[in-house]
Every structure is written in C-alpha cells, then in structure tokens.
Structure 1
C-alpha cells in the first residue's frame, strides 16, 4: 500500500508562523496564530522546515528543532527529499519529449542500448506512471552501483502484469528513466543540474550524495531514535538512487521549484500541459501523473497535486503540494522521527478543512525518572507474549514480543485493521512459497538460515509509511525473527533478517497511564498498577504481569 500524504486546500490557504527560541529557530512572512499552533507540534517532536506561498508575494517560511546536536534548523538547512526526486526526473523526461528527443510511446529498449527483458518493452509513459509492472530487487541505497550493472539488473526484472493495465510503484522504473536521460543527453546529473534544478535562472539544490551537491548546511536525520549514519558522503557510483531518490534541497527551494514547475518556469507550458494530462486513474479519486499524484476535488474540496518522499537510512521526510485553483504551493521537510512531515499535515488538516483552530498535540506529564525506573521489567501475558520495559531519559522503551503484544501497542491513521490483516496474509503466502517471488525468497532464506520448518506471525507495525509484518522463522538452530514490507503485488518491498522485536516509546500522561511518544499512535493507552501492565488500542488489548 502506498500512502498519499494528506495535503488539503485549506492547509494551503491558511498560512502562518512565529517564534519560540526553544523549538522554533526562524520564521518570516507568517501568521502568528498559525505558528503558535505549529510550535506546539514542534515541542511534541516535529523537527524540520516548511515553506509556502502563492507566487504573487505571499511567502511564509519557518524552521523548528535542531539540524544536529548543536545547530538549529533554519531556512537554509538542506534535507534529502527522497522519492520527490522522481518529480525532477519526470520533468527532465518531459523536457526531452518537448524537445523531440524522446516520445512517450518510445520503448525503453530502443532508447537504452543493452537493455533486455520486460524492461526493454516498457514505454516511457508506462515508466513515468508506474504502470510498467517491473518488480524485483534493484540496488541498495547509498551503495555502489555501476551504470552497466544497473542496466543488467533492470534487464533481469520480471513484469507483474501486462504493462499499462495496473499500477505498481517502482523505484526501478524511475532509475531506468534516469538512464534514458543519461543516454539522451550524455550526462544525467549534468542535465538535471543545468536544465531542471533551476528557478528564475539560478540553480537550486543538488544531489545528496556526490556532485553537484546541494549547497548549504545539512540536517542530520533520525533513524530508529538515533542519528542517521547516512549524511551524504557516499562517493558513488550512484545509479542505485539515480532518478528515484537522489536529490536534496531546502524546504523553500522545494516550494519555489514546485511553483516554477507548474507555472512554466522549469519546462515549457506545453510540457506542463503534457505532465498534467498524462494520467493513470487509480479509481479512488486520485490519478498518477508523472512524478506526482493528482488528487481530485471530490476528496478535499479542491484539486491538489502532491508528492512525498523520505524514510530510509537518511532519516529525512518531505512533502510537496501544489493547489492549481489558487497557485498556492507548500513544502515541508523533517529530520526527526517524533512527528514527520506527512504526519504533521495529517494531524492539522481536518481542523483546517472545517475552519476550526488547529488541534494541539496531546501533552504528556512531567518525566519522573524514579517512576520510570519503577516500571522496568519483563511483563508476560497469558499467551506467552512479553513486554520488556526499560526506563530511558524521555520515557519508557517497550519491546513487544508476540503478535498480540504488538497489536495492543500499534495504532495508525494510515492503515486499517483490514490493511493489516491483508498484509499479514500476503507475507505468510510469500514465505510459504505460494508465489514465484515467494519461492525465490524462501530459497534465499534457506540458503542463509538452513531449512525452515515453519513460519508464524509475530505482529505488524508501520515504518516509513509502510506496514512491516514480523514473523518467526523456525530453523534447526532456533527461531529467527524477521520483518517484511510488501509491494502491492506481493513482492518484497523491504526486509530485515534477523531483527529485534519492535519497540515503542511511551510517555506518561498521569495516574500511572502512558501513551506512545509517536503521536500517530495516540489512540493507544498503557496503564501500570503494581506488577500489572495493561495495554489497549485499536488493535486489541492485553494484560501482562511482571515476572518475579
């Protein structure tokens, strides 16, 4: 399941920002009332920058939190924009189509020498709209991948369906488009830098890894509660992320570029018309357009064009949106994992739509280290599942081991219980070898772990906007814990083998009760009374007693 960020017309029309030395590190051109509300979200965990405007003089910019342990985020702070890079790749392709160098119905095999397999039969339009059907593994982020090796990997990919008939989000498809741009221009990176990363005649942003690099101080992201290791120093070759997740810039630059793109300042007006008219209808009020998602007026009251990216090992997240009816443009980037860019907008959008004050995040009580230490221990449920509770500086870290233990602590506005059940069933089908992709994965696991006697569910959480289902793999040497995130057609999207049980950070709200520090799980409550721990949320409830 691919998540569409909730970016609504009202959010783009009600702008604002001010200043608080503790959480807000700079603001200009913004409404004080709005900033006061966003300041509360910064105090609850949002760290990053935002910018919006209408191209006619309205220009609001603000930054919150810390770029690293010593430096506050600021207007000039650079963030990796992840999959929003696809919008830039699409612009490059449509620029070449407009110039007559390519055509939407050209097949990739005719444009890129050495390309074979189903990838060669995919058209440029199918690659732009994620309808090529290409599935399978393609490179690793921030790991070396030579150009020839990239072509070979793409040539070996399968097709999940007849091209053009369905949607399957594909990083590989956009990597192939980057290779096509490289072949057509002689230099993919140079073409983007000179022709596409340009606003008002000046270059903006650049690449997260390698040259030409995005100039300016870089935010350090957060991954699993710790500073990200990837800070942009990877020397390349860079074909694993080329075209699909390789760019970086400030939030203001992303806002300005989005405005320039849709108003004919990056590519010609004919190319913009082609971008907006090249579509694949998703059947849910949204449509894929090259590099973006077009959201119809029936959903939000006005059309919105949006893109999102992030997660992964940079620990950054970003959202960009353009409102065609008003020309308003918004960009948000974050480098913390308390409240990421998309979650911030999700949280405030319903109130903005209704014309109501922006809700404040649920507060937590003052941290009492002695109280936290008193909660420590291993709590075991009747099912045998356990919670291992550890006191930390900012709350309780709870590792959940067992499907019911995980379910009681998991809540997400982005996924329904039906989504979770479907994902778990698909993971079991994959690991039981019921599909071609599953048989390949099972063979790979057994080559590494030995024969697998059985597979059992161990719970599902969400990370980086996707569901992650934990499983126990029974081997001769004991159980091995793993998690899987799947694509829409049951292919492996991401995997960790082996891994640790999922962990949740809880903060006190008073009277022995706790809630998740991650406000996306705000519907969960955990109560402690003597040696009894009770967890309850949308996914169920569970009682566990502390071991003697």
Structure 2
C-alpha cells in the first residue's frame, strides 16, 4: 500500500545575506568526503563552507536565496542519481509536494481578481454536483483548512477521475461545522482545484498558462506525473528504507493528488515564483496581501494563510511565511520561506532523508538570521571495528534489536513496542523543539496510539474504509497490536503489527487530532537508528541536526545498554 504522506509547514527561517555574486556556477575546492557537484555555489565563502559541511553530513539537494528578485546564493550538493553518477545542480527538478497548495491558492485568488468567484462563495454553489456537508463550506474556509474536512479521498497514485474525487470528497464527514475549527486537509485543496477546473475548463491548463508563468513569460516548472511535465533532469528520491522513489510515469487520472501535491520545479524557479507571488506579479497586490496577512491563529505565533503559514516576530525577531512539502513515495522534501521585511526568499529541496531540506533550514536558520557563523554538523568519531557488536539483542519484555555494521556506523532496527520506545523516546518536557512546533510528550504518543487503534478497529468512517482497503490487499484482518511509536519530523508515527490472511504485516500510521490519516505505510520496515562511535565505548545517533532522540548506547559482555529519557534498559545478545 502506497504511503500517503502529506507535507507540513515548518517553523524555520533562513534569511541572512549570502554573497552578492551574479548567481553564476563554477568550481571550488571541496572538503574531503563532500560529494562533487557540477553546480557549486555563488554564495559568500563562510556560508558556502558551512553548506559544504552539511553536504558532507548527508544533505543532498539544491538551495536558492533571492533578494529583490536577484540571486544572492545558489548552490547544489550531492547526487541527483547515484547509479548514473549524475550530480544535483541548480537545474535539477524536484517534486515540491504540498508546496503545490500555495500554487493552487494563488490560482483561486487570481480567479477572484478576475471576478469569477468570491472567497465567501460556498463551494457547493461553484460545484453544483458536490454533495455532502462540505458543500456549505466557503472558499475562504477551504483555503485556511477550516472547512471541517477530515480524512483522505484517494491515494497519491490511485487512478481517480474528477467525478470520482468529487463524490469521494462529498462522502467525507466533517470534524466540525465549517469555520468552527482547524484540521489540515489535502482533500480541501483538491476541492479547490476542482473549482479551478470548473471555472476555467482545466486546472492544469490554467496553472501552466497563467499562475506558473514568471515575469517575462517563462514557465516555472510543471507536474511530476502527466503533462505539462516540469522540464529538466529529475533528482532520484532515496527513501528511508533504501528504495528509490517514484520517478513519475503514473498514467492518471490524477485527482487523488491534484491541487494538493502534484507539482515539480527547480529550486531557483521555486524561489523566483515565490518572489513574484508576494510582490503582486502572479496575483494582484491586494490578493498578495491576503496571502501575507495572518489568518486563522494556530498558536505559538503562527497563523494559517492561503497556502502558507505566517510566523510572527516572537520566534526569531523577524516576521516570515513558510510552506513545505515532501515525503510519500517520491522521496523529496522542499521548503520555501518569504521574509517580507527583507524582500528575501529562501528555497531548499532535498532528495535524501539523512539531512532533509527542512532539517537544514531548521539547523542553520536562527544563526543566519542573527548574522552569526552557521553551525556545523556534529563530526563522526574515528572509525573502528564494529563486527563484535553485530547481532540480535532481546529485551526482557520481548522486544528485540537487530544490529548491523557498515562504513564505521551501526544500524539498529527495533521490533516490538518496548524496543521501539527505547530507541526513539519522546522529547522531554514537550516544549518548543526549535522548529516552532512542540516536543512530543509520552502522553501525546500514547494518545496517538489510541487514535490509531480506534481507526484500525473501524470506529470511524475513515477507519472502516481503511480496514476494507487493508483486507482487499492482504486478506482478512484478524488481529492487531501496537508495535511502538516514534516521532518523525513533525509527525508522530505509530507502528502496528497486523495479523492478516497473508500472515503478520508491520505498518505505521500518522493521524491528526481528529483521527484522520495524515500518512501511512503498509507494509513497512521496522524503525531503525544509525549510530556513530562517540568515544569511551559509547555510540550516539548519527544526527547532524540534533533533532532526533538523545540516547547513549554501549555494548559489553554480550549486552546492549541503552540510556535515554526512559532511563537505562539492557538487552541480552541472542544471536
């Protein structure tokens, strides 16, 4: 079953000035271990050196920073295609995932500029064939995720026609009456794309003929699947489990992802389009102000706006807007930020999970904003012989760890709830995590588990659909058990062991507070953590950004000892 990952906005900012070069690309000396790329930077030397260090730590992708529409910093690192030996460049195309919502919102606002709709129109008025309670929601409510829509209407690569999508969305129950709450909704943005389709005769045609046109007429990107395709060489996405991501070629129809996540472009084009949007060159200046003005309050200095999240000065002393997307089966991550006080855009995309675009922005943004030297990733300790640690280790309550070694690193995979909880404990305190969100307390993880159990036990409409989908794929579902819960970026993931007609299967689910599925992957590999030697016989997570779990792992006398937020646990070697 294909994972249905959604892109989530990040509270991160990258705003300090990079070099004032003309945006050319050349060659420069590179530190040992840093992947060579044909597209080196036009950035200030201090920033370039720091970015190269992050590339050496695992960032693979492209970066562009604009001010007043001109390139300040442009760089690319790592490999677009390892098998072919093809490097990332500033011309490499990435899927931008849920950043697509910003483009769909712009299409709606442009139609409002043209007098073809009002933001206070009910969506059922514009789409007469739409049935169900969402028909009473307004366009404005759909734009800021207050329509009440909860749950999914189709998979990313599920062939879904326009009429099928309209019917599926109409069948979704609302989490609350329109306007009475907030829940992030992919289905809501597909509904907005259906409005564009209805009023213009073609969502894709309208985007490519108007909304994606940069000043001067050049097209900024296109679609990852289908036509018009984003022109240029594509980055291969590399997934957490080692597989390569979906490279396009899905034959459609595309209404499972249309409007909420189907676009692709180069990073410089994403930065240029964002600048054109907020300076009134894609939509009217008045509509650009609608996007920029804080809308639905989200707490923590954040507010939803059409296609974006606005952050006030309380985080870093500078107001900005940001949106991000990625995950799923493509394996890309993209993030873009607009800093109105500086007329600056920062855009980053990545194609590997080690240091994603959002990870990088989170790690270096505060220092750049303050004008301080950029932080460098943590350095790996000297390599050592790790073969003695390889094996299987059993916990007293039944969970187990499987330890493998390669390239001076250990990879530990966890099976069983007690093993997963030991390897990925919640962040203590539940406070701000540095990205504007909140740390995940143990109570939050346990509450998430109960929502996942309710979903898979068929307690909701979406849960009954999910069970039917699982049984269609794997046979009768006769049992399920919790298999551990972790945090992954902005999401909580609960692993479940499913007893099916085809045998036991492991999967994971991420759900929102109302129990709607945000992301899922069934079947899935057990969660795993890569460890580096840290001296004194200890191993710690290979986590250059410091955003992951803080644990120490030691091996001695046939035992594996893990010390973290939950105290100390010992597992006995069994093989």
Q: Which residue of 2 aligns with 1:5?
A: 10
Give the Cα–Cα distance (whole angstroms) in 2 for the partners of residues 237 and 475 of structure 1. 31
Q: Which residue of 2 aligns with 1:228?
A: 244
Give the Cα–Cα distance (whole angstroms) in 1 for the partners of residues 271 and 57 of structure 2. 25
Give the Cα–Cα distance (whole angstroms) in 2 for the partners of residues 483 and 24 of structure 1. 36
Cα contact 1:7–1:304 (8 A) shared by 2: no
Give the Cα–Cα distance (whole angstroms) in 2 for the partners of residues 464 and 407 of structure 1. 16
Cα contact 1:81–1:310 (8 A) shared by 2: yes
After superposing the two structures, state which structure 1 stretch, 411-420 or 390-399, moved more: 411-420
In the alignment, structure 2 segments of 5+ residues that lack a partner are 1-5, 22-26, 428-432
- Aligned-residue offset at 1:328: 0.9
Please identify which structure carries the higher helix content.
Answer: 1
Cα contact 2:146–2:183 (8 A) shared by 1: yes
- Aligned-residue offset at 1:43: 0.5
Q: Which residue of 2 aligns with 1:214?
A: 230
| Residues 539 and 35 (structure 1), Cα distance of their counterparts in 2 relative to 1, 3 Å cut | farther
- Aligned-residue offset at 1:119: 2.6
Give the Cα–Cα distance (whole angstroms) in 1 for the partners of residues 35 and 536 of structure 2. 28
After superposing the two structures, state which structure 1 stretch, 216-225 or 43-52, moved more: 216-225
- Aligned-residue offset at 1:156: 1.2
Give the Cα–Cα distance (whole angstroms) in 2 for the partners of residues 94 and 225 of structure 1. 40
- Asked if residue 62 in structure 1 is aligned to residue 75 in structure 2, the reply is yes
Q: Which residue of 1 aligns with 2:212?
A: 197
What secondary structure, in the 3-state scheme, does the structure 2 residue paired with 1:468 have? strand
| Residues 163 and 535 (structure 1), Cα distance of their counterparts in 2 relative to 1, 3 Å cut | same
Cα contact 1:458–1:470 (8 A) shared by 2: yes
After superposing the two structures, state which structure 1 stretch, 321-330 or 109-118, moved more: 109-118
Q: Name which of 553, 556, 565 aligns with 1:526.
A: 553
What secondary structure, in the 3-state scheme, does the structure 1 residue paired with 2:109 have? helix
What secondary structure, in the 3-state scheme, does the structure 1 residue paired with 2:81 have? coil
Q: Name which of 174, 181, 188 aligns with 1:159.
A: 174
Cα contact 1:82–1:247 (8 A) shared by 2: yes
- Aligned-residue offset at 1:410: 1.5
- Aligned-residue offset at 1:152: 1.5
- Aligned-residue offset at 1:470: 1.4
Cα contact 2:15–2:368 (8 A) shared by 1: no
- Asked if residue 258 in structure 1 is aligned to residue 274 in structure 2, the reply is yes
Cα contact 1:76–1:216 (8 A) shared by 2: yes
Q: Which residue of 2 aligns with 1:407?
A: 421
Give the Cα–Cα distance (whole angstroms) in 1 for the partners of residues 152 and 145 of structure 2. 16
Give the Cα–Cα distance (whole angstroms) in 1 for the partners of residues 246 and 334 of structure 2. 17
Q: Name which of 320, 332, 357 aligns with 1:304.
A: 320
What secondary structure, in the 3-state scheme, does the structure 1 residue paired with 2:386 have? helix
- Asked if residue 103 in structure 1 is aligned to residue 118 in structure 2, the reply is yes
- Asked if residue 419 in structure 1 is aligned to residue 436 in structure 2, the reply is no
Q: Name which of 341, 366, 374 aligns with 1:358.
A: 374
After superposing the two structures, state which structure 1 stretch, 343-352 or 410-419, moved more: 410-419
TM normalised by structure 1 equals 0.92
- Aligned-residue offset at 1:199: 1.2
Q: Superposed, which structure 2 residues align to 1:262-411 within 5 Å? A: 262-277=278-293, 279-368=295-384, 371-393=385-407, 395-410=409-424
| Residues 56 and 176 (structure 1), Cα distance of their counterparts in 2 relative to 1, 3 Å cut | closer
- Aligned-residue offset at 1:102: 0.7
Cα contact 1:208–1:232 (8 A) shared by 2: yes
After superposing the two structures, state which structure 1 stretch, 372-381 or 456-465, moved more: 456-465
Give the Cα–Cα distance (whole angstroms) in 1 for the partners of residues 77 and 376 of structure 2. 16
Give the Cα–Cα distance (whole angstroms) in 1 for the partners of residues 230 and 214 of structure 2. 14
Q: Name which of 117, 137, 144 aligns with 1:129.
A: 144
After superposing the two structures, state which structure 1 stretch, 234-243 or 510-519, moved more: 510-519
In the alignment, structure 1 segments of 5+ residues that lack a partner are none
How many pairs align? Answer: 543
Cα contact 1:28–1:60 (8 A) shared by 2: yes
What secondary structure, in the 3-state scheme, does the structure 2 residue paired with 1:509 have? strand
- Aligned-residue offset at 1:379: 0.5
- Aligned-residue offset at 1:383: 1.9
Q: Which residue of 2 aligns with 1:249?
A: 265
Q: Which residue of 1 aligns with 2:24?
A: none
Q: Which residue of 1 aligns with 2:510?
A: 485
Q: Which residue of 2 aligns with 1:141?
A: 156
Give the Cα–Cα distance (whole angstroms) in 1 for the partners of residues 499 and 197 of structure 2. 46
Q: Which residue of 2 aligns with 1:37?
A: 50
- Aligned-residue offset at 1:225: 4.2
- Aligned-residue offset at 1:389: 1.2
| Residues 477 and 174 (structure 1), Cα distance of their counterparts in 2 relative to 1, 3 Å cut | closer
Give the Cα–Cα distance (whole angstroms) in 2 for the partners of residues 152 and 507 of structure 1. 51
Give the Cα–Cα distance (whole angstroms) in 2 for the partners of residues 56 and 525 of structure 1. 46
Give the Cα–Cα distance (whole angstroms) in 2 for the partners of residues 138 and 308 of structure 1. 21
Q: Which residue of 2 aligns with 1:501?
A: 526
RMSD value, Cα:
2.6
After superposing the two structures, state which structure 1 stretch, 77-86 or 229-238, moved more: 229-238
| Residues 500 and 434 (structure 1), Cα distance of their counterparts in 2 relative to 1, 3 Å cut | same
- Aligned-residue offset at 1:539: 5.0
| Residues 529 and 189 (structure 1), Cα distance of their counterparts in 2 relative to 1, 3 Å cut | same
Give the Cα–Cα distance (whole angstroms) in 1 for the partners of residues 465 and 253 of structure 2. 28
Give the Cα–Cα distance (whole angstroms) in 1 for the partners of residues 323 and 222 of structure 2. 18
